[in-house]
Amino acid sequence: MRFHHTVLDNGLQVIAELNDQAHSVASGFFVKAGSRDEAPKVAGVSHFLEHMIFKGTPRRDALAVNRDFDRVGAKHNAQTSEEDTFYHVTCLPEYLPRAFDILSDILRPNLAEDDFDTEKKVIIEEIRMYLDSPMSVAYEAAKAAHFGGHPLGQSILGTVDSITAMKVEEMRAYFQKRYSPANIVLAFAGKSDWDQIVELAKSHCGSWTGGEATRNAVPPKGTGSFQALLRADDQQQTVIGVADAPPLESADRYAAQLLATVLGDHTGSRLYWSLIDPGYADGVDVSYQDYNQAGTFFTFLSCEPDETQANLARITEVYRAAMAGDLTEEELTQAKNKVLARSVLRSERPMGRLASLGFHWTYRREYVSVAHELEAFSKVTLDDLHRLCQQWPLLPMTVVSVGPTTDVHAPE
């Protein structure tokens, strides 16, 4: 593995982890633009803009974008989160110049009003589709409840009202501010040549203009509130709990990932044996999500409505025991084996490495190799998990219950 880094004159960060043993190459633009960067008036503009990026450029219409990717057998996609919009392509090394020509081209879109008006209908339908999903409703409500007025509580999709009212001029202004080269990291992973990559970046992105885009990343404090939302037609109860956790800037993120695995991995975890194996619930897990200056432990539960309160009590019992310090070396070792195996398997694909490379560089200006990541997880001790449970207690947590019963209260 060889790591390279340079900065173009316009501020665009370019990084690459090159591997001659790989059989493909992945490239991606990491734009520091997500729902936390949006004013309430334009809620959902980051995700809406992701759709618009593929609708045409001065050189290609939407059909040509997809056709040209297909012609070189490239796999392309994009995703928007609370903090970033990530555009990527994976292809055979010999087709990188042509694939990157398309990928970089769409990062400077037309943002035509006709396309905007058409895609607005698609976004609204997507929002309505998610409103039909109990898990999506619970997740959005839990984020909003936990973060309160903090921007991380805002919906990635926005609302029907915010999307309906949005003007194309507002999207263009947001694009000009957030899609400046100084607010973007361009990353490559896999089999390629660094000199070729630098030349591609300069020739396709060197003329981009725009200044710094700031983000006021104020650390939030979870509210610990409780909500029970009625969805009378649901067949099951969906519950999401949220507790504060280490931010992505913290070295404790490795311990947090392992703690979540011990407590709520989908197989062989404490919650699995306490709720799934006995048949009390059909779904329960814990995930750790790190954000810029923030972090969360998400607890997800799906069960029969009349088992909801008892299952919340069972989860609380598991968390209290962990906070009391009864985690074991055997559990930690098992969690490490799971996490390390998943990290290695993911890293065997250039696309798997690309996401890690780009996000680490975007927020920490740090190259984290696979070996470094494996070492960091391996060094976590049982004392680290016990300390984490004290510094970032799992209880009390924000809880949102969604389903056919509202006869649910906050776990005691």
Active site residues: 50
Q: Which of 401, 100, 63, 27 is nearest to 229 (CA)?
A: 401
Query: Would you say 13 and 7 are in contact if contact means Cβ atoms under 8 Å apart?
Result: yes
Return the ∠ at Cα 346 (arms to 343 and 352), rounded to 5°: 120
Residue 411 DSSP label = -
Q: CA-CA distance, 88 to 28, in Å (whole number)?
A: 4
Q: Could you tell me where the beta strands, DSSP code E, fall in 235-358? A: 237-244, 283-291, 294-303
Burial grade of 224 (CB within 10 A; 0-12, 13-18, 19 or more): middle
Going by C-alpha positions, the residue among 292, 151, 147, 142 that lies closest to residue 221 is: 147
CA 35, CA 364: separation in Å to the nearest integer? 20
In terms of DSSP bridges, do strands 184-190 and 226-230 run parallel, antiparallel, or are they unpaired? Answer: unpaired
Residue count of the chain: 412
Find tokens 């009864």 and name the residue. 326
* CB-CB neighbours of 115 under 10 Å: 19
- The CA-CA-CA angle for residues 27, 33, 38, to 5°, reads 160
**Edge-first strand listing for the sheet containing 283-291:** 226-230, 398-403, 237-244, 294-303, 283-291
What single string gives the DSSP state of each residue in 74-95? -EEEEEE-SS-EEEEEEE-GGG
Whole-angstrom distance, CA of residue 237 vs CA of residue 259: 26
